[in-house]
Amino acid sequence: ELCKIPLGNRQPWILSVAQFRPEKDHMLQLEAFALVLSLVKQHRNRVRLVLVGGVRNSDDQSLVDELVNRAKELEIHENIDFHINASYDELYSLYEKCFIGLHSMWNEHFGIGVVEYMAAGLVTIAHNSGGPRSDIVVPFEGRPVGYLADGTPEAFSEQLVSVLNGFLYRNDDLNGLRMDARAQCQKFSNERFKDAFLSAMEPFFQIKIG
């Protein structure tokens, strides 16, 4: 379904979808975003960071409160939107509008959220570790499908600014990257999993005659 979202009519918005837990490292995203805004000053009023995530308990809510306070300290709060326990329709609408998907968790085992960014046509910037590095943000037929950043605000901001400039100044190469990213996602589809599973199991079901 996400693959059907049109690639056009996007905004220079950065979408982060992750539960509000410490290991997701939203604080790193804020630090990186502060650097981004300092580097795209003439477009500052257009660029936004959209944080979407679930809050399960008081600990999660405390983290959100810390993030809100830190955003105010960094003077970036006017460019940040928090969507707490958003509905699927709300999230889908954000997939339609945002241009960049941001993932900052270190050593994520897989990273289904990264796959969803790519399927929805967002340019993905993910932590250079774990599943995103080994399985997802890997070249498609030799071409890039997204970007990886080491776990520092500087590394993430560098990639973010590069992609934002590509959007703001209409770099057509990014559209090719987005289409390749969508094609890459097909290897994680239910159909591909079914075919691979049946292929792997076939020898066990063969009947030896004679």
Q: Considering all CA atoms of the chain, what is the largest pairwise distance in Å, rounded to the nearest integer?
A: 78
Domain assignment present for 1: no
16 contacts: CB under 8 Å, gap ≥ 6: 26, 29, 49, 50, 51, 52, 53, 101, 102, 103, 104
Amino acid at 57: N
Cα 193 from Cα 210, distance rounded (Å): 33
Nearest to 146, CA basis, from 110, 108, 184, 111 = 184
Question: Tokens representing 148?
Answer: 């990886």
Is 210 within a domain? no
pLDDT digit string (tens) for the chain, length 210 residues: 899 999 999 999 999 999 999 999 999 999 999 999 999 999 999 999 999 999 999 999 999 999 999 999 999 999 999 999 999 999 999 999 999 999 999 999 888 999 999 999 999 999 999 999 999 999 999 999 999 999 999 999 999 999 999 999 988 889 999 999 999 999 885 454 434 333 444 554 555 555
H or E element, residue 13? strand 11-17
State the residue range of the domain holding 189. 7-205
CATH number for the domain spanning 190: value is 3.40.50.2000
> Is residue 2, in this structure, part of any structural domain at all?
no
Residue 50 lies in a domain: yes
**Overall domain count for the chain:** 1
pTM of the entire predicted model: 0.89
Residue 27 is assigned to a structural domain of this protein? yes
Give the separation between CA 17 and CA 192, rounded to whole angstroms: 25
